[in-house]
Chains A and B, each alone.
Chain A
Amino acid sequence: MAIPKVCGIETEYGVHANGPDANPVSASSVLINAYAAEVDRRTRWDFEDETPERDARGYAREGALPPMVETHLANTVLTNGARYYVDHAHPEYSTPECYDPLELVCHDKAGEEVLRRSMAAAAALPNAPEVVVYKNNSDGKGNSYGCHENYLMDRTVPFASVVTGIIPHFVTRLIYTGAGKVGTETTAFGTETVHYQISQRAEFFEEMVGLETTLKRPIVNTRDEPHADPKRFRRLHVIVGDANLAEVATFLKVGTTALVLAMIEDEMTPPKELALSDPVRAMHQVSADLTLSRPLRAADGSTITALEIQWEIFAAARRYAKEKGLDVIGGEQVGEMVLDRWEAVLTGLESDPGTLADQIDWLAKRSLIEGYRDRHGCRWDDHRLAALDLQYHDLRPARSLFSRLPMERLVDDAAIATAVTEPPRRTRAWFRGRCLAEWPDAVVTANWDSLVFDVGSDPLRRVPMMDPLKGTADHTASLFESCDGPSELLERLSS
């Protein structure tokens, strides 16, 4: 049965430092340490629970490379419940666990704000090189880095059903989640010329299912690391998405995916067979097809377009909402908002995609680039177009092109500023964040599913948080009000 789709986003930001000695690992560390010093955060990440090599299929393919855990680099936990650290030579921001897609949009944007504040804090250091951060997924030279989503799922649902059910959605949601890119940088398109494509990330995918994240990337990642009670929960780790700046795009990326996963849990996926004969190739085709009309080959030999697949999934989602309600994606209000936006975007893509240039990244960027080309008559290989592409994602206020576009907002600046310091109220992130804010010296390490306290005389005490839906503001209000200090908290929790 479907369970609440607690969700989060991990973004590996692009990072560039000027200067002869600049290297991305130290530049990333400078950002994180400068920010941690400014907000006085000392609690370090606890690696007790890290097992990224565990495979959801119960086995690992021969020759598969499990991800490495880097325990020696800058790594901190914030009072909003987020993790902020160096990963693979990138600064990475993992939002806290959110209860619904709109809350996650707010926390994803708060992550951008943390990176902006980090750039400012780093710039104020003596002799610091300028460190610049980009929210994108590739350098245009064949190197890609990810923006991963995570969704809580019911452990009893067979993983094979998840794979079959979600692949058509992952291949085709690109038409509104793509962040857009000038040119290509892999051999995915063969001899075909692609001047502009919908996705930053799609062409880097080579497999349908697998454990890898840095090589031979799979559409469905099998990492089985629930960061919660493994008997009850699965965390679907999604590596196939683009990093979005547009709030509507992030909202739809998370909202539609959460809904489809709930439909899989309740066995209410579209009745029509949507399996594709070659999902990897289909995803490349979708990315390269700005007309959104190219037929994809279905497994049954027929053809279907990405938009048609999305309409089928959307229709099934409406039926699901009618029958089961929308509590599992955060309630009727936010759930209906997902459905209405989804429908409006599919309608717009079908009739006049240009009208979505204020909502969808690949269309916003395309309008900018087309406008520039019209004025200057640039060829597609003109460096200025690649520079526009890169600067769309630039987080420096003085250089960001995204922030100059008239994009539609779903959350306001005040809510984002609050999310920089305050955790979501309806998940265990609340307990993590509040403990860090109340007793920064007592919490020695933290991770997704536990906190370790040092209250002086006793040995270190680990408080497990194996249920992402416990430790909410409602659950813990009286606890935080009545406890004078961490010792009393531990006493109350163990009694």
Chain B
Amino acid sequence: MAEREQRRRNAPSRTENEVVEEPAPSSPRGEKLKADLDDLLDEIDEVLEDNAEEFVRNYVQKGGQ
């Protein structure tokens, strides 16, 4: 648990000399997510409603709780 606490960044109680591990913005995880998203975007036109304007305009709900 102590180790986990130390890894927190910018936590109000942190001290100056803690080691901070932060994933680089281009982490393998981020890259993988981006690749998966690209695959979806390649084929998204087959899934999207043909007439976006009409689709959005027709979606009208009664208010609920």
Contacts and interface: CB of A to CB of B under 8 A. Distances in A.
Contact of A351 (B23, B53, B58): B23
Contact of A90 (B4, B29, B55, B62): B62
A343 B11 CA distance: 11
Given A387-B55, A387-B56, A404-B40, A145 B33 contact: no
A206 interface: no
Interface string A71-103: 000000000000000011110000000000000
Interface in B29-57: 29-30, 33-34, 36-38, 40-41, 44, 47-49, 52-53, 55-56
A140 interface: yes
Contacts of B52: 383-384, 386-387
A145 B65 contact: yes
Contacts of A347: 7-9, 22
A267 interface: no
B19 interface: no
Nearest to B36: A406
Contacts of B34: 367
A315 B64 contact: no
B23 A90 contact: no
Contacts of A380: none
A88 B65 contact: yes
Contacts of B64: 12, 87-90, 143-146, 214
Contacts of B25: 352, 354
A399 interface: yes
A90 B61 contact: yes
A318 interface: yes
Residue with the highest number of chain A CB atoms closer than 10 Å, among B4, B48, B55, B61: B61
Contact of A383 (B7, B11, B33, B56): B56
B5 interface: yes
Given A12-B64, A405-B40, 8 more contacts: A16-B58, A87-B65, A89-B61, A318-B5, A347-B7, A367-B33, A371-B37, A391-B49
Q: Which A-B residue pairs are the 8 nearest by beta carbons?
A: A145-B64, A387-B52, A213-B65, A89-B62, A88-B64, A139-B61, A383-B53, A406-B36
11 contacts: A144-B63, A144-B64, A145-B61, A145-B65, A352-B22, A355-B29, A383-B53, A387-B49, A390-B59, A399-B49, A405-B40
